[in-house]
Structures are given as C-alpha cells and as structure tokens.
C-alpha cells in the first residue's frame, strides 16, 4: 500500500514537471514568435522607407545650375557627383568663374546658386541674396618647395603683400627676392585674404592669376614666389607656411588658432525655403550626414 502511494506521488510530481516544462516551452515559443513578428515589422518598415526614398529619387528630376568660386571647384564637383548618384534624374551643372561672377549670376537669375568663397557684402544682402554658409575653408600661404622660410607672423605676411618687405632674408629666409603672387580682382579667395590682413585693394602683386590651380602652378615653378590657395587643394608641389607658429590644418581652423580662414557660401536669391524643390533638395543633402561626408572628404570643415 505504501509502495503504491509512493508511486502515485512520484507520478504526480513527474506530471507536474512535464506540465511546467510545457509551460516554459510555450512561453519561449510565444516570445520567439513575438520577436519574429517584430523583426518582420521592422524589415517591412525599412523596406517601406527605402521604397519611399527610391520613389522620391525617381520623382525628382530637372537641372540645377551653380556658378562661382574656382576655390569651391573640388567641393562643388564632389557634391554634384554624389547628389546625382542619389537622384539619377537630376543634373547639376557647375561653372567656375569666380565668386563675384557667381553672386552676380544668382542675382540676375542666370544661375540657381552662386558659389562664393567669401562672405556676402551688405550691398549684396540688401539685394535679396541669402548667404548660405555650407562649409569653412582655410587659406594656406604657399611657397616654392626649396624656400627655407617656415613661419610668418601676421605682420610679416602683411608687410610682404603690401610691398614693405621684398626679400626673404627679412623674414627668416635666404637672401632672395620675394615674388608676390595673388588672385584676380573678384576672386573670393583674394577678397577674404585681403580683408583678413586689412589690405583691400592694396597688395603689391607681381602676378594676378585667374584660378587656384594657376596660383599653385606659378608658385611651384617660381623660386622665391609666395601665394595663397584654398587649404583643400594643397599638395606636395608647394610648401605651406605656418602662420604665427600654427600649422594650416582643419583642427587648427576649428579651434580658431589659425587666422586665415573663410566661409564657403552657396548663395541664393531669397531664402532656401523660397527656392524650387530641386535646389531645396540639394541644400537638404548638403546639411545632412551624407553632405557632411562630402565636405570632410574634400578637406573642408562642416558648419554643423
């Protein structure tokens, strides 16, 4: 009788254990099912978002025209290429003829965007042109690779470009004449450079060239030459000088320790919100994470 009772108790315990196990398996099955459902929902949402983005890209079509700064050529070309990959039915046309010409083009309606490598003047803003700063660029002071000078103070740089100093021996270099190279009137780089040094229309140039590339080539091939170019175009054909002991790098420009820097502006006639959907889409892209990647890839500093 005792044995039979014990067997009954053991059977009951086993049955309860089995039931508990079933409950656990059921809970696990339910949780797994819920996770699967959530995953499917997330996949569906992502797919829907991708489909919406693709539809938006297909719907957006037409042409955007940009005119202006030669210093912004590298950035503008990179931006156009990536944007057109994202929106295959949109064409972005860019022309590089100088900041002043770009602002004039957007003002008279012959371009959607005027690229300017300087701030807009009060007069330009008064005409209804919006200053849309998209990045910050440093201006590098460059010399031919054989030049022994390594660093200039702001005053020394000012004296060189004003004509007060004409020999490298006066500023720590070898005994050789200084050949002062600059940009043409209307250049955003020239305007920013002269404004920072307080030398508006007062520089003693030996040569005034019409593009950043021309300045690089002239300085690289001319002993004793000095010039100024956009930081993002620097290469080993020239030597960049430190200014006030500070190297021309993006980090130093961000910190404010390197004094030669200027904005890259994509000017519009009226605010961005007043532009057509293509131009608005381009600015949305510029100010997005994707736009930041383009800005940083060409050596510029994001404004975000």
Does 270 lie in the same domain as 238? no
Does 68 lie in the same domain as 82? yes
Q: Is the pLDDT of residue 34 over 80?
A: no
Does 84 lie in the same domain as 169? no
Domain total in the chain: 2
* Cβ proximity of 124 and 68 under 8 Å: no
Residue 304: predicted pLDDT = 80
Mean pLDDT within 52-64? 75
pTM of the model: 0.68
Residue 36: predicted pLDDT = 56
47 band by pLDDT with thresholds 50, 70 and 90: low
Domain that holds residue 234: 138-261
216: in domain: yes
27: in domain: no
Does 161 lie in the same domain as 216? yes
User: pLDDT (tens digit, 9 = 90+) per residue, 67-114?
Assistant: 999 989 999 999 999 999 999 999 999 999 999 999 999 999 999 999
Q: Is the pLDDT of residue 195 over 80?
A: yes
Least confident among 20-24, 36-40, 176-180, 181-185: 20-24
14: in domain: no
Q: Is 132 or 29 the better-scoring residue by pLDDT?
A: 132
């Amino acid at each position: 009788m005792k044995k039979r009772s014990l067997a009954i108790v053991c059977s009951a315990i086993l049955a309860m254990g089995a039931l508990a196990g079933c409950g656990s398996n059921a809970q696990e099955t339910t949780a797994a099912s819920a996770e699967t459902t959530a995953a499917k929902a997330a996949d569906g949402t992502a797919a829907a978002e991708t489909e919406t983005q693709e539809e938006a890209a297909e719907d957006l079509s037409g042409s955007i025209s940009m005119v202006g700064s030669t210093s912004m050529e590298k950035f503008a070309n990179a931006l156009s290429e990536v944007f057109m990959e994202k929106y295959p039915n949109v064409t972005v046309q860019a022309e590089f003829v100088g900041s002043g010409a770009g602002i004039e083009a957007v003002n008279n309606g012959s371009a959607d965007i005027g690229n300017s490598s300087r701030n807009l003047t009060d007069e330009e803003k008064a005409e209804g042109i919006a200053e849309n700063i998209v990045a910050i660029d440093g201006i590098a002071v460059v010399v031919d690779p054989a030049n022994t000078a390594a660093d200039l103070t702001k005053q020394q740089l000012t004296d060189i470009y004003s004509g007060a100093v004409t020999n490298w021996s006066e500023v720590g270099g070898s005994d050789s004449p200084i050949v002062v190279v600059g940009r043409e009137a209307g250049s955003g780089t020239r305007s920013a450079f002269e404004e920072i040094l307080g030398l508006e229309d007062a520089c003693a140039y030996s040569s005034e060239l019409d593009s950043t590339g021309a300045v690089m080539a002239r300085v690289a091939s001319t002993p004793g030459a000095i010039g100024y170019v956009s930081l993002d175009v620097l290469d080993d054909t020239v030597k960049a000088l430190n200014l006030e002991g500070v190297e021309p790098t993006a980090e130093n420009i961000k910190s404010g320790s390197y004094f030669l820097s200027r904005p890259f502006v994509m000017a519009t006639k009226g605010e961005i919100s007043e532009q057509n959907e293509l131009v608005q889409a381009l600015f949305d892209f510029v100010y997005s994470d994707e736009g930041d990647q383009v800005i940083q890839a060409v050596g510029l500093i994001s404004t975000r």
